[in-house]
Structure 1
Amino acid sequence: MCDSLTKDFQICEELGRGRFGVVYRCFSTISGDSFACKSIDKRLLSDPTDRECIDKEPKILQLLNRSPNIIQIHGLYENDDYVHIVMDLCESPDLFDRISNHAGVFSEQEACSVFSQLMLSISYCHRLGIAHRDIKPDNVLFDSRGRLKLADFGSAEWFGMNEGGMMTGVVGTPYYVAPEILSGREYNEKVDIWSAGVILYIMLAGVPPFYGETPAETFEAVLRGNLRFPTKIFRSVSPEAKDLLRKMLSKDVSRRLSAEQVLRHPWVVSGGETRSMEDLA
């Protein structure tokens, strides 16, 4: 551990581990407040792309530090072997666990409560020219007060710095990745809208909209983008919710809603309460 880190924070038990490092619980030696410390072993970063992601994530988090729905960074420490990032502590089950453990599907009001916070975080990122590029339930955390915190910006990119706001590179996760990423074309920040639409579909249906027996088959289903609403599953889902899903999961990016447009959609504005389809006109 860095001497400056152990001066500012007391490192406690391990909370989890990933490909390049370990997450610990820690608390401030000054305030006593609890945080999470993500310790990354730089000696495991043999790929230059991995090193770039590790360097980029704390810079992006520092830029996004004014959003209540994005994980906040509270300290950054580095020595020859490690990078230590002190962040918000989110011990409540993440959205993946909530979906997995949920008895049946979410009600529209429950889904909208989570979804609207997620879209607020995405909208904030996009206003600052940042695309997350790996929106998935595993990266949607919750703090002790139940507030949503979007996390893991290792795949994020500054699209505002690119000519025309376009990006390249295959990133993302099966089920949630947008078709234009898989096609190898340039793409814009609306890849995050597609991913958020997949999450909303899963919360309302209990199954993903595009899937296969293998990752390759799942990618093929995503590329086809044949959005369906099986009657048995969607019988009780409102026309407003399905309207929003169609406009988020549009293969035609020019017709896909922006984050701000999603937040203004009647289903989101109403908090998931069903309303007359005439209001959608």
Structure 2
Amino acid sequence: MAGFKRGYDGKIAGLYDLDKTLGRGHFAVVKLARHVFTGEKVAVKVIDKTKLDTVATGHLFQEVRCMKLVQHPNIVRLYEVIDTQTKLYLILELGDGGDMFDYIMKHEQGLNEDLAKKYFAQIVHAISYCHRLHVVHRDLKPENVVFFEKQGLVKLTDFGFSNKFQPGKKLTTSCGSLAYSAPEILLGDEYDTCNYILSLVVHFAPLLKMFFIFGVCL
């Protein structure tokens, strides 16, 4: 189902019926949708192109570019991109168990250690895979990890701040969520993929009510 198609507003390209809203951002809304012919449920990120400035347009280009590149069991799939005059639709794999933030809020005492390790390992695999392809996510946080309970998986999503990087070359753009950022990013210093170790620690500490220590770079 991967591809790039032009469509029209309403019933997207005659292929998807939009349903309830699942989430909302500055320039986009994420909606539940159903494929007209197969009945398959998907998540659709609807971007209003009329509200995008130059920077936001660049981020959108990189998001689509990186999501088309990554294909991993622990990364939400981008099925296709549908373009209209005023909107861009990203047709995405739909999770069935909410996001990690909500999950943490419902388990304030922490999780079983084995279960937490299982989820942690899956996100590490996803991030490591991205880095091997020279893709950096740059917005790792609980809200961007989605549960697929029927598959027994968690998957990384929202590549809105992602970008390609050159091995051995530092990154300079400060972006993502401040609460999960490394000090170098907060200070506006150069950084590399090793700085995302701290994001992983801050991200998953609430699951076990403890901190992890790493000695390797993903």
Give how far 1:62 is off: 0.6
Q: Does 1:173 align with 2:203?
A: no
Cα distance in 2 for partners of 1:133, 1:189 equals 9
Does the 8 A contact of 1:130 with 1:156 survive in 2?
yes
Cα distance in 2 for partners of 1:94, 1:12 equals 19
Structure 1 residues without counterparts, runs of 5 or longer: 206-233, 235-241, 248-255, 260-281
* Cα distance change on mapping 1:111 and 1:191 into 2, 3 Å: same
Amino-acid identity (%):
32
Farther off after superposition, 71-80 or 22-31: 22-31
TM-score by length of 2: 0.88
Give how far 1:193 is off: 1.9
Cα distance in 1 for partners of 2:207, 2:183 equals 21
Does the 8 A contact of 2:63 with 2:163 survive in 1?
no
Corresponding residue SS for 2:193:
coil
TM-score by length of 1: 0.70
What do the CA deviations read for 1:88-133 (whole angstroms, capped 9, x no partner)? 1124121100111104112321210110111011011011001111
| Poorly superposed stretches of 4+, deviation over 4 Å | none
Give how far 1:165 is off: 2.9
Matched letter for residue 42 of structure 2: F
Choose 1 or 2 for highest CA Rg: 1
RMSD: 1.9
Q: 1 or 2, which has the higher strand percentage?
A: 2
Cα distance in 2 for partners of 1:200, 1:75 equals 31
Match of 2:201 in 1: 197
Give how far 1:173 is off: 1.6
Cα distance in 2 for partners of 1:89, 1:34 equals 7
What do the CA deviations read for 1:45-99 (whole angstroms, capped 9, x no partner)? 13x21111112111111100x2010010111011221110000112412110011
Cα distance in 1 for partners of 2:158, 2:196 equals 14
Farther off after superposition, 21-30 or 131-140: 21-30
Q: 1 or 2, which has the higher helix percentage?
A: 1
Match of 1:52 in 2: 58
Q: Does 1:257 align with 2:216?
A: yes
Match of 1:246 in 2: 213
State how 1:142-161 maps to structure 2 within 5 Å.
Answer: 142-145=147-150, 146-160=152-166
Matched letter for residue 54 of structure 1: L
